[in-house]
Amino acid sequence: MKKYKVGVIGATGMVGQRFVSLMENHPWFELAVVAASSRSAGKPYSEAVGGRWMMQTPIPAPAADLIIMSAETDAKAIADSVDFIFSAVDMKKDEIKSMEDAYAKAECPVVSNNSAHRWTPDVPMIIPELNPEHAAVIESQRKRLGTKRGFVAVKSNCSIQSYVPALHPLKEKYGLSRTLVCTYQAISGAGKTFETWPEMVDNVIPYIGGEEEKSEQEPLKVWGAVAGGEIVPAKSPQITTQCIRVAASDGHMAAVFASFDSKPELGEIKETWKNFSGRPQELGLPSAPAQFLHYFEEEDRPQTKLERMLENGMAVSLGRLRADSQYDCKFIGLSHNTLRGAAGGAVLLAELLCAEGYICYSSEGYPGDCLF
């Protein structure tokens, strides 16, 4: 199979590095371009990241010698040389929106890890197993942008990946009325390691700027519907959250409390989780976990160190399901925040968009000509 040529803009940051590492030996995607700020432009990738490489595996050999381009000034050249890009730039939101729109208008599809476009009404925010149908709004976005190939699609906030996938099939089956969630989030969510953030060693910080708003609002867009050329967010359930930074390198954990329109038995909940799968599993996408939701019966599981890499970091781990005195039930969720929650989730989204014909080879026509 011919591979899609891929660019990563914002390639020197933590999430950008994760994108670069995930492109190594990917069966569908080939890393062709790395781009970053003008400070890094013109340098070989290995030199630019230097001692700042934060992945546990070495810099992939195909990426090491790539010369970094400027994400801003080389946008047209980048767009012309790849089939689509992953966006992981670290800039102000209005600057990110402008940059991602510029790539889309240059007929380059953008799959973004950034939050800047998450509330643009005709930009789909997709968790591939939950709301793949939201990709249909891309056609309306293309009309607005005046493009044939170009568009922007985004993944959701990393923290909601630890609990929204578990709530989704329950919501579909029993109706979800309200939920309370406390998330305990790893330092890599801030783009940090213990070496770069020594203050986090043996520490907990009970505040993450903007995170609670995202955690309460983004699920409603994921659970929304395409209508009138945009995504209309759901009006329910009621969601309240607290988000806490903890001394873990990777892995976001959530303590979840939920009430339903029709209260299920605990055994029914476990069976629903066991049987849930989505479009990525149906299509056999390369990054899709075979079993999306894993439930652990042990009372002390899931644990961050033990479960965060389950199914290459793309599965969601669940445990401690029990009755609650204020809600119908409570449980623990866990996901890997830079894999399922960030770069890995975006790669899975890109695979979905390719498989469904929204991204085609740039030299071989427009959507409808490139299904495989």
H, E, C per residue of the chain: CCCEEEEEECCCCHHHHHHHHHHCCCCCEEEEEEEECCCCCCCEHHHHHHHHCCCCCCCCHHHHCCECEECCCCHHHHHHHCCEEEECCCCCHHHHHHHHHHHHHCCCCEEECCCCCCCCCCCCECCCCCCHHHHHHHHHHHHHHCCCCCCEEECCCCHHHHCHHHHHHHHHHHCEEEEEEEEEECHHHHCCCCCCCHHHCCCEECCCCCHHHHHHHHHHHHCCEEECCEEECCCCCEEEEEEEEECCCCCEEEEEEEEECCCCCHHHHHHHHHHCCCHHHHHCCCCCCCCCEEEECCCCCCCHHHHCCHHHHCCEEEEEEECCCCCCEEEEEEECCCCCCCHHHHHHHHHHHHHCCCCCCCCCCCCCCCCC
In a domain, 92, yes or no: yes
Residue 147 lies in a domain: yes
Same domain as 126, residue 178? no
Mean pLDDT, residues 80-87 taken together: 98
What is the domain-level CATH number for residue 71? Answer: 3.40.50.720
Question: Are 136 and 253 within one domain?
Answer: no
Tell me the mean pLDDT in the region 265-269.
Answer: 98
In this structure, is residue 318 part of a structural domain? Answer: yes
Could you read off the pLDDT of 274-309 as tens digits, one per residue? 999 999 999 999 999 999 999 999 999 999 999 999
Let me know whether 123 and 167 are in one domain: no
Same domain as 73, residue 16? yes
Q: Are residues 132 and 173 in the same domain?
A: no
d(C-alpha 372, C-alpha 366), whole Å: 13
User: Do 137 and 244 fall into the same domain?
Assistant: no
User: Which of 186-190, 359-363, 368-372 shows the lowest mean pLDDT across its residues?
Assistant: 368-372
CB 62 within 8 A of CB 31: yes
59 contacts 20 by C-beta, under 8 angstroms: yes
The reply to whether 120 and 167 lie within a common domain is: no
pLDDT band at 1 (very low <50, low <70, confident <90, very high): confident
Between 182-186, 244-248, 329-333, 363-367, the lowest mean confidence (pLDDT) is in: 363-367
pTM of the model: 0.96
In this predicted model, what pLDDT tens digit does every residue of 179-237 receive, in sequence order? 999 999 999 999 999 999 999 999 999 999 999 999 999 999 999 999 999 999 999 99
CB atoms under 10 Å from CB of 199, counted, come to 11
Q: Is the pLDDT score of 365 beyond 80?
A: no
Residue 182 falls in the annotated catalytic set: no
| pLDDT for the residue 367 | 46
pLDDT in tens, 85-127: 999 998 999 999 999 999 999 999 999 999 999 999 999 999 9
Residues 177 and 151 grouped into a single domain:
no
| Residue 158 a catalytic site member | yes
166 and 180 in a single domain? The answer is yes
Residues 66 and 130 in one domain: yes
Q: Please choose, from the candidates 151, 134, 91, 149, the residue with its C-alpha nearest in 3D space to the C-alpha of residue 116.
A: 91
The reply to whether 365 falls in a domain is no
pLDDT for the residue 372: 42
User: What pLDDT sits at residue 362?
Assistant: 81
Mean pLDDT score of the chain: 95
The pLDDT score that the predictor gives to residue 364 is: 60
Q: Rounded to an integer, what is the distance from CA 296 to the centroid of its chain?
A: 24
Same domain, 193 and 129: no
Q: What's the distance, CA 66 to chain centroid?
A: 25
Do the domain assignments include residue 15? yes
Q: Which of 134, 168, 252, 336 is catalytic?
A: 252
| Calpha distance 119→99 (Å, rounded) | 16
Strand partners of residue 361: none
> Is residue 167 domain-shared with residue 94, that is, in the same domain?
no
Q: Is 127 left (phi over 0), alpha (psi -120 to 50) or beta?
A: beta
Q: Is residue 181 part of a domain?
A: yes
Set 108, 158, 360, 370: catalytic member: 158
- Asked if residues 101 and 319 have their Cβ atoms less than 8 Å apart, the reply is no
Indicate the pairing of strand 176-185 with strand 29-36: unpaired
Domain span holding position 263:
159-335
Residue 361 covered by a domain: no
What does the buried/exposed string (b/e) look like for 5-16 if buried means 16 or more CB atoms within 10 Å of the residue's CB? bbbbbbbbbbbb
pLDDT at 366: 46
pLDDT value at residue 370: 56
* Residue 371 belongs to a domain: no
Q: Which two tokens stand for residue 135?
A: 């990709």
What CATH number does the domain containing 174 carry? Answer: 3.30.360.10
Question: What is the percent of the chain where pLDDT is above 90?
Answer: 94
Contact 254, 185 (CB under 8 A): no
**Structural domains in the chain (count):** 2
pLDDT band per the 50, 70, 90 thresholds, residue 371: very low
Q: CB under 8 Å to 135, separation ≥6 — which residues?
A: 124, 126, 153, 352, 353, 356, 358
pLDDT one-digit tens code per residue, 116-147: 999 999 999 999 999 999 999 999 999 999 99
